[in-house]
Amino acid sequence: MMFVKRQALRIAALTAVGGMFLAGCTSQDADQPTETPTDEDVATASPTAPEVDLDQYAEALVTDRELVGIAHDPPVEGFIDDPVTMYLTLSEFNPSGSCARLLEELNSFTAPAVGGVAAKFMRGAPAANDGDEDETQSGAAVETMIFETVEAIEPMAIYRDIPNACETLSSTEVEGAEATFTKVPGLDAMLLEISDGEDVESLAVGGSSVNAQFHMYMTAEQVTLEQAQEMFGAQAEKLQQTFQDQVDETAPSPTASPTDAATSADPEEPTDDAS
Taking only the tens place, the pLDDT of each residue in 86-134 is 989 888 899 999 999 999 999 999 999 999 999 999 998 555 554 444 3
Decide if pLDDT at 28 tops 60. Answer: no
Q: Which domain holds residue 91?
A: 2-129+136-246
The answer to the question of residue 80 being in a domain is: yes
Name the band, by pLDDT with cuts 50, 70 and 90, for residue 260.
very low
CATH of the domain at 76: 3.40.1000
CB burial string 230-266: b at 16+ within 10 A, e below: ebbbebbebbbebbeeeeeeeeeebbebbbbbbeeee
Q: How many folded domains does the chain comprise?
A: 1
The answer to the question of residue 271 being in a domain is: no
pLDDT at res. 266: 44
Please give the residue that has the higher pLDDT: either 14 or 143: 143
**Whole-number Å distance between alpha carbons of 204 and 181:** 10
pLDDT at res. 138: 62
The answer to the question of residue 257 being in a domain is: no
The answer to the question of residue 240 being in a domain is: yes
pLDDT 10s digits, 220-252: 999 999 999 999 999 999 999 999 988 665 555
pLDDT at res. 137: 54
The answer to the question of residue 20 being in a domain is: yes
The answer to the question of residue 264 being in a domain is: no
**Whole-number Å distance between alpha carbons of 178 and 186:** 25
The answer to the question of residue 253 being in a domain is: no
133-145: average pLDDT? 70
Decide if pLDDT at 74 tops 80. Answer: no
**Whole-number Å distance between alpha carbons of 165 and 98:** 6
- C-alpha torsion sign, points 94, 99, 103, 108: positive
The span from the first CA to the last CA of the chain, in angstroms, equals 58
The answer to the question of residue 252 being in a domain is: no
Residues sharing a CB contact under 8 Å with residue 29, sequence separation 6 or more, in sequence order = none
**DSSP annotation string for the chain:** -EE----STGGGG-EEEEEEEETT-PPPP--S-BSS--HHHHHHHS--BTTB-HHHHHTT----HHHH-EEEEEEEEEEES--EEEEEEEES----HHHHHHHHHHHT-EE-EEEEEEEEEEETPPPP-TT-TTPPP-SEEEEEEEEEESS-B-GGGHHHHHHHHHSEEE-SSSTT-EEEEEEPTTSEEEEEEEE-SS-EEEEEEEEEEETTTEEEEEEEES--HHHHHHHHHHHHHHHHHHHTT---TTS-PPB-SHHHHHSPPPPPPP-----
**Whole-number Å distance between alpha carbons of 166 and 98:** 8
Residue 75 Cα to chain centre, angstroms? 16
Question: What is the C-alpha radius of gyration for the chain, rounded to an integer number of angstroms?
Answer: 20
